[in-house]
């Protein structure tokens, strides 16, 4: 069995072919067993009494009882951990990776609940651990919050690191993009040379990160994904761009075109920095999910799976039947009408959502949109980002827009100011109550069209609870 599998994995190191052998002394084994037992007891109690999803607290307890528990569990994963990081697309990309690996017969551990901070990662691994502290899995797929990458990478020692994108997102928590890339480069440089970095080559900051790590004192193997389709260029540079200056010398980059925010085909007119050669040609792979952002997610997964050695037929088969994660281009039927939920949480994400909806509008497939803005902790408490969104195109393309959420009037004001074409026929409807907003939107949506719902994260959970009758978390 093993010899057959490893024939199809040409890029895996010899040591990894034999699996990871973790030596744990007796005392550590006993402490680990106690931590696992306590965490599993907490999980059982929470779920039995329906107190929550138990996606974080068990990890908190486990870490308190054994501070090295994340390392001890993750290093038992036979062929290594795949870390998925970036501002947007972590959940969709992780599900694609998992689907492909499972289609090929591998056993996968994945933090599917989306808890991507340290305690959530530990909880995920504990779920798959026996009472004796043994974890049996071929691969671990862990989506990780971009701000905790420096903390968890030394503990996880991942085989693959996917750098999807970096956009300004919740500046009250993260700071600017340059700060994050500096931290990432510093911690990745210290990892073993066995670690492979899969980078968005269309993102200047990440492309530079990859090039620096390829040429450093401890060189890393880097693979780049991106688009090779100029027909997808935006009409103009978006307002919400983050990194259009050369990360090497600071000169303004020359762009042939933009695909998404600052991602595109670029080079520096002053120094030698330019877009890296991509590992795959995007034209050779199908686009299944709506939006250019999902095309990037798909290419990231494909590049990683080809690096592992998964065959193209298996990858294609998985992509062609892939179902979007909850809230991420997810399609539902409610009261006989089609609904598509498009989670959005920052300017770039919302711009791309507007772009995708506008394409559907042009074909006569969508005339009603429900937008919901909350400012709770999962959303980011600073909603000023809505003024960086190119909402003019959204409003001036016509149709009906229903507005709701905790910050309904902030969003309504932004959309009202976006009316540069008074003859567009766009109608704004304000509904403070979310249930009323959903009912109104569904009533106005024709049977042959799709209702697009554009919520922030906490609003997405509320919408899904109303539409499906059950909570996610």
Concatenate the DSSP letters of all residues of 16-73 into one string: HHT-------HHHHHHHHHHHHHHHHHHHHHHHTT----SSHHHHHHHHH-TTHHHHH
Q: pTM value?
A: 0.84
Closest listed residue to residue 165, CA positions, set 358, 375, 411, 347? 347
Percent of the chain with pLDDT over 70: 92
Number of C-beta neighbours around residue 379 at 10 A: 22
CA-based end-to-end distance of the chain: 38
pLDDT (average), residues 256-261: 94
The predicted pLDDT at position 19 comes to: 52
Residue 155 contacts residue 74 (beta carbons within 8 Å): yes
CA atoms of 137 and 392, how far apart (whole Å): 49
- What lies within 8 Å, CB to CB, of 313 at 6+ separation is none
For every residue of 318-340, which 3-state class applies, written as one string?
HHHCCCCCCCEEEEEEECCEEEE
Q: Which of 9 and 350 is assigned the larger pLDDT?
A: 350
- Look at residue 23 and tell me whether its pLDDT is greater than 90: no
Q: Cα(357)–Cα(332) distance, rounded to whole angstroms?
A: 16
Number of residues that make up the chain: 473
Q: What is the rounded CA–CA span in Å between residue 92 and residue 308?
A: 19
Going along the chain from its start, the domains and CATH numbers come out as: 2-320 (3.40.1190.10), 328-468 (3.90.190.20)
For the chain, the farthest-separated pair of C-alpha atoms sits apart, in whole angstroms, at 76
pLDDT in tens, 108-161: 999 988 889 999 999 999 999 998 899 999 999 999 999 999 999 999 999 999
Q: What percent of the chain has pLDDT over 90?
A: 70
Closest CA to 20 of 158, 141, 197, 132: 158
Contact 382, 174 (CB under 8 A): no
**pLDDT category of residue 216 using cuts at 50, 70 and 90:** confident
The pLDDT of 46-73, averaged and rounded, is: 91
Q: Are 276 and 201 in contact (CB under 8 A)?
A: yes
Rounded to whole angstroms, the Cα distance separating 386 from 350 reads 9
Predicted local confidence at residue 158, as pLDDT: 97
pLDDT band at 362 (very low <50, low <70, confident <90, very high): confident
pLDDT of 138 reads: 98
Model confidence pLDDT, tens digit, residues 320-345? 999 877 778 888 999 899 999 999 98
Ramachandran assignment for 173, one of left (phi > 0), alpha (psi -120 to 50 degrees), beta (any other): alpha
> How much is the pLDDT for 9?
46
Residue 177 CB neighbours (<10 A):
23
For the segment 314-321, the average pLDDT, to the nearest whole number, is 94
């Amino acid at each position: 069995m093993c010899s057959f599998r490893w024939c199809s994995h040409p890029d895996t190191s010899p040591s990894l072919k034999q699996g990871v052998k973790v030596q744990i002394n007796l005392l550590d084994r006993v402490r680990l067993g106690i931590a696992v037992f306590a965490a599993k007891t907490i999980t059982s109690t929470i779920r039995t009494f329906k107190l929550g999803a138990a996606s974080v607290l068990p990890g908190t307890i486990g870490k308190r009882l054994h501070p090295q528990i994340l390392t001890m569990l993750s290093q038992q994963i036979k062929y290594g951990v795949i870390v998925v990081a970036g501002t947007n697309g972590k959940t969709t990309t992780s599900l694609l990776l998992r689907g492909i690996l499972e289609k090929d017969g591998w056993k996968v551990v994945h933090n599917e609940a989306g808890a991507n901070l340290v305690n959530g990662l530990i909880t995920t691994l504990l779920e798959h651990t026996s009472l004796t502290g043994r974890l049996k899995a071929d691969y671990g797929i862990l989506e990780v919050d971009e701000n905790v990458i420096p903390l968890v990478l030394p503990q996880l020692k991942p085989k693959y690191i996917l750098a999807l994108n970096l956009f300004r997102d919740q500046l009250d928590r993260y700071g600017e993009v340059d700060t994050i890339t500096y931290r990432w480069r510093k911690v990745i440089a210290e990892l073993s040379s066995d670690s492979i970095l899969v980078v968005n080559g269309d993102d200047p900051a990440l492309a530079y990160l990859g090039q620096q790590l390829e040429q450093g004192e401890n060189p890393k193997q880097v693979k780049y994904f991106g688009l090779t389709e100029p027909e997808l260029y935006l009409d103009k540079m978006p307002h919400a761009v983050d990194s259009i200056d050369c990360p090497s010398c600071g000169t303004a980059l020359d762009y042939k075109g933009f695909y998404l925010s600052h991602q595109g085909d670029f080079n520096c007119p002053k120094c030698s920095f330019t877009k890296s050669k991509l590992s795959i040609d995007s034209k050779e792979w199908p686009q299944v999910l709506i939006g250019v952002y999902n095309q990037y997610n798909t290419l990231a997964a494909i590049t990683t799976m080809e690096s592992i050695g998964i065959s193209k037929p298996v990858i294609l088969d998985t992509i062609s039947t892939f179902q979007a994660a909850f809230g991420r281009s997810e399609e539902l039927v409610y009261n006989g009408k089609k609904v598509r939920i498009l989670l959005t949480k920052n300017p770039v994400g919302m711009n791309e959502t507007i772009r995708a909806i506008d394409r559907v509008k042009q074909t006569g497939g969508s005339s009603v949109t429900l937008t919901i803005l909350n400012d709770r902790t999962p959303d980011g408490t600073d909603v000023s980002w809505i003024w960086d969104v190119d909402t003019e195109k959204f409003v001036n393309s016509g149709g009906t827009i229903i507005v709701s959420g905790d910050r309904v009037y902030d969003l309504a004001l932004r959309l009202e100011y976006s009316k540069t074409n008074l003859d567009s026929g766009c109608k704004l409807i304000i509904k403070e109550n979310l249930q009323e907003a959903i009912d109104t939107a569904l009533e106005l949506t024709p049977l042959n069209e799709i209702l697009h719902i554009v919520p922030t994260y906490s609003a997405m959970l509320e919408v899904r609870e109303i539409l499906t009758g059950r909570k996610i978390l």
